[in-house]
A = this chain, B = another copy of it.
Amino acid sequence: MKTRITELFGIRLPIIAGGMAWCSGWRLASAVSNAGGLGLLGAGSMHLETLDYHIQQMKASTQLPWGVNLPLMYPQTDELVALLIRHEVPIVFTSAGSPKKFTQRFHDAGMKVAHVVSSSRFAVKCEEAGVDAVVAEGFEAGGHNGREELTTMTLIPQVRRATSLPLIAAGGICSGESMLAALALGAEAVQMGTVFALATESSAHDAFKQYCISLPEDATMLALKALSPTRMAKNALFARIAAAESQGASAEMLREMLGQKPAKRAIFEGEVEEGEVEIGQVVAQIDKVESAAEIVGRIVNDYETVRQRMAGLKI
C-alpha cells in the first residue's frame, strides 16, 4: 500500500505505534519498525541520558525508519530537541505544544515532523507551521486528550476537509477493521497506542498489562478536565478523583490527589489501583499480550479480509 504517509516516512505499512510514556522504549519501537510499521520512542517519560541510550539501542536494532514522540511541555525540551538533532533522528512526532517552535529547526536538520492535534483548528495551525503531517487523535484515545472531545469518527473527516496535510488517524484504532474505517474517513495511516502499550515488547509493567487485558468496555473515562483531560481506567485512584470532580475540585486539588508521577506508578511500576492507568477505550478489545509482530500481522490480515468484504458491498 502506498499513501502519502508511507511515502513520507518510507514505511511499508500505514501503521504507526504511538510513542507512549513508560511503554515505548527501543524494544517496542524497533519491533514495530522491523514489522514494517513505524516505531516511535516515547520521550515523554525519558531523561536526557535515557533518551540518548534508547536512540543508540534503536539505531543498533533496526535498519528501517523510526522516530521519536516528543511532548513539547517539559522544562528540558530544548535539550531533548538538541539531542534529536545531534542524533539525526529521521522522524519526530511532536505534541502538547505549538508546532511553530521547533519545526524549522527539525527541517533544517533534514528530519520529518508530524504534530498531534485534537481538532481541525489545530490542524490548520500545523499546516501554517509547515509540519509534514498531522496526527488527529479522537476522544477515545488513552492518556492526554483534547478539550473538544471530538471522536475519531467525526474528527478525521473534519481535519481532512480543513487541511491538505498528510493525515494520520489515532484514537479507537486497534484492528484491521478500524484501520480500514479510518482510511475510509480520509486518513492515510493510523497510529495505535493501547494495543502496542500491551505488547510483549512494551516497557509497561506486567501487572499493568495483565490488569488492562482484563478490563471491560466501560472501564475507562475522561477525567482531570480541570487540569488536562486524560483518559484513564476507573481504578481506586480514579474513583477518588471522580468523587472530587463531582464536587467541583480545582486543578490544584486534583494535582495533589494524583501525587508524584502517577502514570509512572501505574504503567512502569504496576500500581494499577493507585497509579494513573492511561489507556484507550479499545482496551476492551484486547484480551492477550502479543508481540508487536503478531499484532501487526493480525491487523494486516484482518484489513485484507474487511477490504475484500467491503469491495463486494456495492450499493
- Chain B residues contacting A161 (CB-CB under 8 Å) are 285
Taken together, the copies of this chain in the complex come to: 2
Cβ-closest chain B residue relative to A226: B246
Given the contacts A218-B150, A307-B314, A313-B307, A157 and B185 also touching, CB distance less than 8 Å: no
Instruction: Assess the A149–B307 pair: CB atoms within 8 A.
Output: no
In the docked arrangement, what's the CA distance between A155 and B158, Å? 21
In the docked arrangement, what's the CA distance between A135 and B263, Å? 36
- Chain B residues contacting A221 (CB-CB under 8 Å) are 149
Given the contacts A1-B314, A154-B281, A148 and B218 also touching, CB distance less than 8 Å: yes
Q: Nearest chain B CB to A36's CB is how many angstroms away?
A: 10
Which of A147, A186, A315 is most buried by chain B, counting CB atoms within 10 A of its CB?
A315
Q: Which of B3, B177, B300 is the one whose CB lies under 8 Å from A157?
A: B177
Instruction: Assess the B183–A178 pair: CB atoms within 8 A.
Output: no
Chain A's interface size range is 35 or more
- Chain B residues contacting A155 (CB-CB under 8 Å) are 217
Q: Which of A191-229 contact B (CB under 8 A)?
A: 216-218, 221-222, 226
Instruction: Assess the A157–B175 pair: CB atoms within 8 A.
Output: yes
A68 within 8 A of B: no
Instruction: Assess the B181–A182 pair: CB atoms within 8 A.
Output: yes
In the docked arrangement, what's the CA distance between A152 and B177, Å? 13
A139 within 8 A of B: yes
Cβ-closest chain B residue relative to A152: B153
Q: Nearest chain B CB to A186's CB is how many angstroms away?
A: 7
A119 within 8 A of B: yes
- Chain B residues contacting A119 (CB-CB under 8 Å) are 217-218
A255 within 8 A of B: no
**A120-B217, A151-B281 known, 7 other contacts, Cβ within 8 Å:** A1-B314, A150-B218, A158-B217, A161-B285, A181-B181, A181-B182, A304-B315
Pick the 4 closest A-B CB pairs, nearest first: A153-B172, A181-B181, A311-B311, A151-B151
A-B contact pairs, 26 of them (CB 8 A): A13-B315, A120-B217, A121-B216, A121-B218, A139-B139, A140-B150, A140-B153, A140-B154, A148-B217, A150-B281, A151-B171, A152-B153, A153-B153, A154-B172, A154-B285, A177-B184, A177-B186, A180-B181, A181-B184, A183-B313, A184-B309, A246-B248, A304-B314, A307-B310, A307-B315, A310-B310
